[in-house]
A and B are shown apart, each in its own frame.
Chain A
Amino acid sequence: MRLFLEIARTGFSALCLHPVRSGVTICVVMSILVPYLAGVGLSHGLRDVGEDSLRFGSDLTVTGTRFGRAVPIPLSAVDAIRRLEGVIEVVPRIVGALALGKNREPAVLVGLPRGRLPKDVSWVQGQFSEFSTLNEFIVGTQLATRLSLEIGSIIPPFYRSAKGERLSKVVGVLSPEAPLWQANLMLTTLETASQVFDQPDQVTCLLVSCRPGYSDQIKTAILRMPALDSAQGTIRYRVASKHELASLLPSGWLHREGIFHLHFVLAFAAAILAVLVTSGAGLSERRREIGILKATGWQTDEILLRGVVESVLLCLVAASASIVVAFVWLKWLNGLWIASVFLSGVDAVPGFKIPFRLVPVPVLLAFVISAIVVLSGTLYPTWRAAIVPPRDAMR
């Protein structure tokens, strides 16, 4: 055991024997691990807020469908659904896409009944007034930044409506701490949203809250309700329940982030080659050193043990440094650039607090992967040098 420890100590100190090689190896591993950890961290953060959306959202989401595509649903459906047994509440909601400003900045306009709009919540600065002749909006942080909007800003008419256009006013800005879907949000009343899209008496979805255990029964009842007639033709109901949506967030490693992991498997394979090349760059010096050790009485397995300790330390340093850098990247640099790769529609400098969570399993996986990369890249050349006669290795 003492012999083992003595040799292991030489592996520890061998980190400095070839500082350039050690540094390059750590950098190669980090260049793969940091984006991997940051990406997985982002995915977990995103899943957390996605699960919140399901958990705290409505039990059923009812939309209209025609030709298999989502279409608006007449407001008259609210009363019909409200009468079903087990229904607690039916909230009409409008969600639509807009483009604002010279640069056609995309925005998500959400209209809700006035009673549902936020009052005195920590994630909104400002609030709607009771009476106003202007359209009032609470805007998301990224949109506010892109369009230089702040509370009190007046937005000239940006839509065409049969009832005529009005000026719009920003009455609030969402907090960067609120979930990421607030980034380009324009929150307003149902009436204003209806006017902006010029779709009177139509909403994009109905949010149905049910008594516990009634969800499936109500869904079936809604689907059996007669189709709705509109000027454009028959509209059928489409209902999405919480558990159906939950199936979109599979938790298994094989499903979630599948393509992302596949890319990184390829990257790790490339990293092994890179470390091999790095080791090869200093190989003549390393070969000679191993030859001297063999000539002076070191056994092959002792040289390999020394190499293993050195490699494990290299990967420990690389993995730990990667975790620290990934954390700094996500927390203090707020996912600068990488968030725009993982999240569609996000600026290189995100205008909101990006969600992330560094969970232990990917971190342990990162350590194992870096160990595989470093051990494959360094032990093989060491072994090759250790099995040849010392005189050949020293040449």
Chain B
Amino acid sequence: MNTTIPRWILVSVIGLTVTASAIVLSESRRNPVAAGQSREFQQMLGGLGIGPAVDLSRCTLAFDPRLGPVCDSHFGPISGGEFVCPYHACSVFVDSPAVKVLLPWSEVTTDATVP
């Protein structure tokens, strides 16, 4: 131990920081090959999948809200249950009111009025 900074600590800290910075710099941009494949895939299939699920066995909304705007787990008997659907609340679809735009009655643009 030294009050002069031990070389291995200095090298380790600087090395680790530089490596972490380099990772963030390189990984903050998308891989162009993956982006190209993603584009081709979606163009061909007309847009398939948005959410954090890879099958339709649980919550359709989690796979792709275009296929079904309602999550069966969405309106549970639990207070605040709309936030506890484990399949669509985890990553992308948190703001559940936004899902309302896809409900069939969303085209009603004015509130009812009393004559």
Contacts and interface: CB of A to CB of B under 8 A. Distances in A.
Interface of A: 9-10, 12-13, 15-17, 41-43, 46-50, 52-58, 61, 63, 65, 68-70, 91, 93, 95-97, 99, 106-108, 110, 112, 116-118, 121-123, 140, 142, 175, 177-185, 187, 204-205, 207, 223, 236, 238, 240, 244-245, 247-250, 255-260, 313, 316-317, 319-321, 323-324, 327, 331, 341-346, 353, 355-360, 363
10 contacts: A12-B5, A13-B9, A15-B9, A48-B30, A61-B47, A61-B66, A107-B55, A236-B104, A249-B92, A357-B30
Contact of B1 (A17, A121, A345): A17
Interface of B: 1-6, 9-10, 12-13, 16-17, 19-20, 23-24, 27-30, 33-35, 37-60, 62-70, 83, 86-87, 89-95, 98-99, 101-107
Contacts, number: 259
A320 to B, nearest CB: 4
Main secondary structure of the interface of A (DSSP, over half): mixed
Contact of B104 (A56, A57, A65, A121): A65
- Closest 8 interchain pairs by CB? A57-B47, A181-B49, A207-B46, A320-B20, A106-B57, A97-B56, A56-B42, A344-B53
A183 B52 CA distance: 12
B27 A258 contact: no
B105 to A, nearest CB: 8
Contacts of B10: 12
A303 to B, nearest CB: 14
Which interface residue of A12, A117, A180 has the most chain B CB atoms within 10 A?
A: A12
Given A52-B39, A324-B19, A345-B55, A95 B67 contact: yes
A56 B43 contact: yes
Which interface residue of A52, A116, A182, A257 has the most chain B CB atoms within 10 A?
A: A52
B24 A259 contact: no
A248 B63 contact: no
Given A53-B49, A68-B104, A181-B49, A205 B13 contact: no
B28 A95 contact: no
Given A16-B9, A68-B70, A316-B17, A247 B24 contact: no
A71 to B, nearest CB: 10
Contacts of B68: 69-70
A48 B91 CA distance: 13
A57 B46 contact: yes
B38 to A, nearest CB: 4
B27 to A, nearest CB: 4
Contact of B98 (A53, A248, A357): A248
Given A184-B54, A259-B83, 17 more contacts: A10-B3, A12-B9, A17-B1, A46-B92, A48-B38, A56-B47, A69-B68, A106-B56, A117-B44, A118-B44, A240-B66, A319-B20, A323-B20, A324-B19, A331-B27, A353-B34, A363-B20
B34 A355 contact: yes
A179 B49 contact: yes
A106 B55 CA distance: 6
A42 B90 CA distance: 11
Contact of A249 (B50, B59, B89): B50
Contact of A344 (B12, B23, B46, B59): B59
B35 A70 contact: no
Given A17-B1, A99-B57, A357-B30, A179 B41 contact: yes
A296 B34 CA distance: 62
A316 B63 CA distance: 38
B74 to A, nearest CB: 13
